[in-house]
Amino acid sequence: MYSRIAGTGRCLPDNIVTNADLEKRVDTTDEWIRTRTGIRRRHIVDGETTGDLCEGAARAAMEAAGIGPEDVGLIVVGTTTPDQVFPNMGCLLQARLDIHGCPAFSIEAACTGFIYALSMADQFVRDGKAKYALVVGGETLSNIVDWSDRGTCVLFGDGAGAVVLEASEEAGILSTHLHADGAYKDLLYFPSGVGSGFDRLREGKDFVQMRGNEVFKVAVNTLGGIVEETLEANKMTKSDLDWLIPHQANIRIINAIARKLNMPMERVILTIEDHGNTSTASVPMALDVAVRDGKIQRGDVMLLEAFGGGFTWGSALVRY
C-alpha cells in the first residue's frame, strides 16, 4: 500500500502589501527587494487567523479530492504560528471541519513543516491506518515580524496550503527525507516561548531574528545535498525530474538549486513573486497553483524541498 495526492488546495488573505507599500514604511525600494528576493507583493492577514487560512486550504483540498469530513482518517498541520499553544492546530482544524475521532496533531519544523507533515502522513497511510490523510501547512508570520526591520519584513507573507493523501496501489509519494541540526539554531529564530513567560512578546518587543547571509549559505549547501540524497535513494538522475517545487524563500536560493539540477526555470514552480516567503505554507501553495493552472499532470515526477529555522530541511519525491 502506498499514498498518492488526491487533491490540493490553498487559501490566502485578501489583503495585499506591495513593495511600494513597504517603501512608505521602511528604508527600502521595490528594486532592492525584487533583485535580492524575487518578491513583488505578499498577502498579509487583516483579522484572519492561521486557523482561518488552514480551514480554507483544507476545504479546497477535500473538495478537489472528492471526500467529506467522514472520510478523513488523519490530520497533520505544519505551523510555527498556531492560534493557541494548545489544543494543537490539528485539533483546532479538526473541530472547524466537523471531523471526529481520528488522530490530529501539529508539527513545528519552521519552513520545513509541511515536508515533515507529509512524510508522517505518508507513513500513516502506508501502514493502512487511514484511507485519507489531510496534510496542511499554514502561517501568519506577519504577526511576529518587526515591520520596522527591512531585513525581515520584506520577506514574509501569510497563507495556507493543503493536500489530501489517499491510499493507492501505486506509489505517489516515492520517498521523503528529513534532517535537522540544532547547532544552527541562532541563525534564524523567534525568541519568546512558554519558558520565557512571553513577557517581551506581550510588550511587542520580540520578533523573528535572522542572520541572512549565514542562512543563505547553509540553505544552499543543505538543499543541494538533499537533492543528491533523494535522487540516489530512488536510483534516478536529474533528467528524471519533471518539476522542482522549492520552498519559496529567496529567488537566489531557488536559482542555485535549479542550476544544481540542470533544470530550466520553466520547470521550476515559482510563486515567490506574489506570495513572498510563507514558511511551511509555501510548498503546498505552490503545488496547488501548478496543479490548478494545469502545469503539473498525472504521472509527472516532482521534487519538493524546503529549509527552515532549526535548522530543519527535507524533501519529498512525488509522482503526481
Greatest Cα-to-Cα distance within the chain, rounded to the nearest angstrom: 55
Give one word for 167, left, alpha or beta, with left for phi > 0 and alpha for psi -120 to 50.
beta
CA atoms within 13 A on the CB side of 104: 21
- Active-site hit among 111, 153, 250, 275: 111
What SS3 state is found at 136? Answer: strand
Reading the block at residue 193, the C-alpha cell is: 516561548
Residue 100 bears catalytic tag: no
What SS3 state is found at 135? Answer: strand
Alpha helices (runs of H) in the chain, residue ranges in sequence order: 19-23, 30-37, 50-65, 89-96, 113-126, 199-202, 212-233, 251-260, 272-275, 282-292
Cis peptide before 124 (omega within 30 of 0): no
- Active-site hit among 43, 247, 250, 275: 247
The residues carrying an active-site annotation are 111, 247, 277
